[in-house]
Structures are given as C-alpha cells and as structure tokens.
Structure 1
Amino acid sequence: MNLFVDAIAWIFSGEPGAGLAPIGVAILEHLWFTFFSVAVAAAVAIPIGWLIGHTGKGREVAVTVSGAARAIPSFGLILLLVLVFGVLHKAEAAIASFVILAIPSVLAGAYAGLEAVDRRVIDAGRATGMTGWQILGKIEAPLGLPLLVAGLRAGTLQVVATVTIAAYIGLGGLGQYIITGIALRRIEMVLGGALLVAALALILDGMFALVQHAVVPRGIKVASGARAARRKRAAPAA
C-alpha cells in the first residue's frame, strides 16, 4: 500500500526528478506519437479495408498479413527499424513501427464493418439505381462505421502501450519514467509511470467507446430499441 501512496505522491509532486521532462510534457509526447501513428495507419488501412469489404476480394490475404503483423514483437520491431533507419532517425523508425502495429486492427475493423452490412440493404440500393461508389459512401461506410471505430480503438490501445517501450531509445513519453526508474531503482517512479500509462489507456478507451456508440446510425438504434421492447412485452406472456 505504501508503494501506491508513494507513486501517487510522486505523480502530484510536480517534479519527476532525475532531469526528466515534466509529466504534462511527457503525456503530450505520448499522445502525439499515438495519434500521429494511428492517423497514418488509418490513411493506409481504411481504403484497403473498404476495398476488400466492398469487393469481397483479398480477404484471405488481409487476414494472413494482419495475423503475421500481430505476431511481431513490438520491442524487437522498434530496435530493428532503428538499425535500418539509423540512430539519427529514431523518431521516424519508432513511428514506422507504431504504424505497422496499428494497421492490422484498423484494417480488420474496416473490412469487417463492410462485411457485416446486410446484403439485402445493398441489393435494395442497387435496385434504386445507386452506383458502386454511392453504395460504398451512403450505405456500407455509414453502417460499417461502428466496427471501424472499434478497430481504431484497438489500434490506439496497441500503440499507447508500445509508445511506452519507445522510451528505451530515448523518445520520451511516459515510458521514460519507467525506464529511468528501473535504472535508478526508484520504485515510486516506475509505479507512477505505469499508473499514468494505464490511466491514459483507460481514458482513451472510454472516449473511443463513446464515439463507437455515437456513430451507430439512428435507424439501427431505433430498430434495436423496438426489438428490445417487443422482447420485454413477450416475456410475461411466455
């Protein structure tokens, strides 16, 4: 219990010590690496995922590539790309590794969202004369948005955790307190850094959960509510 009290006291002390950046600056660094990497991953993965979900082609390749990317050790990937890019381009190497790790989740969310759309709705759109692009933009993309947000949510949490490791190569973020604390044997700093990372991940997860609920089309919410009401009315009779 004393360890947690010491960690909390260290967090609110306003001075992390050991010449490290203030906690507010470290949080901003952590968020910048996270959101920039996820944005790049989304720019790459969403068009590919929508193409796969819309055409139904290439799904097996996407699943194989995504599974292989998920199996890559995060720490090993960062060190490998630092060696490839060179020590003068550590930030670029780290961002490239974050993007690689985020792409599988975003890609899966993009094509799974389109695959989950009821084919009868798409057939109805074609029957009214909608083109393929119109079906994608007005039917498939809006209906598949909740699963896409779920993919972005999973990718963001993956990157938040991995950015912590990037402090090992001197990129800052909240991981610097854990790495430095271990070297200095300052347990309160290590635990405080871990608590900050966990709190940041929980906050981001909660925000994405709210967004995921908000992007569900209104018609689906109304239909779900009507089905739930019918089940409640039928339960007493049963």
Structure 2
Amino acid sequence: MSFFEEYGGQIFTTTMEHIFISFVALLLGALVAVPLGILLTRAPKIANIVLGVTSALQTIPSLALLTLMIPFLGVGRVPAIIALFIYSLLPILRNTYIGLKNVDVNYLDAAKGMGMTPAQSIYQVEIPLALPTIMAGLRLAAVYVIAWASLASYIGAGGLGVLIFSGLDNYQPNLIFAGTIPVTILALGTDYLLGKLENKLTSSNLKKEAE
C-alpha cells in the first residue's frame, strides 16, 4: 500500500500521457493510411513503391527513429507522436490495400451494374467487405504503438516508460512492474475493444445487406 501511496499519482499521470501519445499517433496513422491504401488500389504502378518505403521505415529501430527526430523537432510529445505515427502506417496501409484488392470482382461488377459511381463502390461495397482485414491492421498497429510508446520517455514525452526506465536506473523492480503491467493491460484492452468494434461494424454491414 505504501508503494501506491507514494507512486499512485505518478502511475495515473504517466498512464494518461501514454494513452494520449498512443491514441493521437494511431488516429493520425489511420487517417493517413486508410485513404492512402484505397488510393493505391487505383494506382498499382506506385503501390509497390509506397509499400516498400513504409516497410523500410518500419525496419528502423524505434529508439533510433525517436533519436533522429530530435535535431528536427526537439524533444517532447510532438517528435514521439510523429515517430509512432510512422510506425503505425505499415500495418494499416498494407491491410487496407490487401483487403480492397481481395474483394471479389463479382461484387464490383454488381456495383457497376447497379449504377454506382467509383466512390459509392468504395464506401458501400469495397470498404465493408475489406473491413475485417483493415481492422486487423489497425489492431496490430495499436499494439505496436502502445508498446513502443514506452520508449517515448527517452525524449521527454512522458508515458509509462518513465516508470520503467526509472526502475531500471535505480534497481527498483516495483517501478518496472508499475510501468510494464499498465502497458500490457492497455495493449490487450485496446486490441479487445477494437475487436468488439470490428464485430459491431461487421454485423451492422450484414444487417444492411440483409435489408
């Protein structure tokens, strides 16, 4: 109890910081990667180039990428969010692209036969059918971002990494557990909630099709 009395406030603060950094990075990743993935299905000549570049960015060690941000953006939350945003791109982009590319051509022909415009076909046919694949990429990106956000404390962005690395530096296992356990819970909890959202959206689409 004495540990929580001493560090309870810090655990809460760093958890909120961790959630904020991860949420903003993941939101930016989804806002960029999903539309870009849709566009790439219409421009197959550049799709491999863009996917190759994002794959290359994914291979950069997370701590190295955070460090590379410092000369351009300094320290704090902004460079951390941008680095995590870059890491979130590949899973969402790749899954959006694959999901839409694998939509059965018969559905596309049916959409054309019904007089749908390309935009209507995308939003009413292709995205609903590709939704499970897109959501799988989003869930994977969420787990990555929440885990890697622990390193954001190295550049002064806060988060649960503050507790983890403080525990490592001062040989205090309690602090390490106080940072590690919430990160694990956040990652698993986010994956679970996104899975629930996926099921809800999928069932909603099935109801519309039935109607």
Q: What is the TM-score with the length of structure 1 in the denominator? A: 0.80
- 1:210 maps to 2:196: yes
For 1:40 and 1:109, locate their aligned partners in 2 and report how far apart those are by CA, in whole Å: 16
- 1:120 maps to 2:106: yes
Alpha-carbon distance, 1:153 to partner:
1.0
Match of 2:88 among 95, 102, 108: 102
- 1:76 maps to 2:67: no
Q: Rg: which structure is higher?
A: 1
Count of residues paired in the alignment: 208
**Is the contact between residue 57 and residue 86 of structure 2 (CA under 8 Å) also seen in structure 1?**
yes
Alpha-carbon distance, 1:56 to partner:
4.2
Aligned to 2:187: 201
Deviation string for 1:195-235 (max 9, x for gaps)?
A: 2211111111111122222222316999xxxxxxxxxxxxx
Alpha-carbon distance, 1:53 to partner:
2.5
Aligned to 1:133: 119
Deviation string for 1:139-197 (max 9, x for gaps)?
A: 11121122111111111111101110111222211111111111111112112311221
Alpha-carbon distance, 1:55 to partner:
5.0
* 1:215-234 aligned within 5 A: 215-216=201-202, 217-218=205-206
Q: Per the alignment, do residues 164 and 15 of structure 1 end up closer, same or farther by CA in structure 2, a change over 3 Å counting? A: same
* 1:29-178 aligned within 5 A: 29-54=17-42, 56-87=44-75, 90-178=76-164
For 2:6 and 2:119, locate their aligned partners in 1 and report how far apart those are by CA, in whole Å: 55
**Is the contact between residue 58 and residue 87 of structure 2 (CA under 8 Å) also seen in structure 1?**
yes
Deviation string for 1:73-99 (max 9, x for gaps)?
A: 100000110122234xx3211111011
**Is the contact between residue 139 and residue 194 of structure 2 (CA under 8 Å) also seen in structure 1?**
yes
The one-letter amino acid of 2:183's match is V
Alpha-carbon distance, 1:128 to partner:
1.8
Greater helix share, 1 or 2?
A: 2
Contiguous gaps of at least 5 residues in structure 2: none
* Larger mean Cα displacement after TM superposition, 29-38 or 188-197: 188-197
Alpha-carbon distance, 1:110 to partner:
1.5
Q: Per the alignment, do residues 75 and 169 of structure 1 end up closer, same or farther by CA in structure 2, a change over 3 Å counting? A: same
Contiguous gaps of at least 5 residues in structure 1: 1-8, 223-238
* Larger mean Cα displacement after TM superposition, 212-221 or 101-110: 212-221
Q: What is the TM-score with the length of structure 2 in the denominator? A: 0.89
Give the RMSD, CA atoms, in angstroms: 2.2
Deviation string for 1:27-62 (max 9, x for gaps)?
A: 111111011111111221111101122454433123
- 1:15 maps to 2:6: yes
For 1:187 and 1:121, locate their aligned partners in 2 and report how far apart those are by CA, in whole Å: 56
Q: Per the alignment, do residues 196 and 75 of structure 1 end up closer, same or farther by CA in structure 2, a change over 3 Å counting? A: same
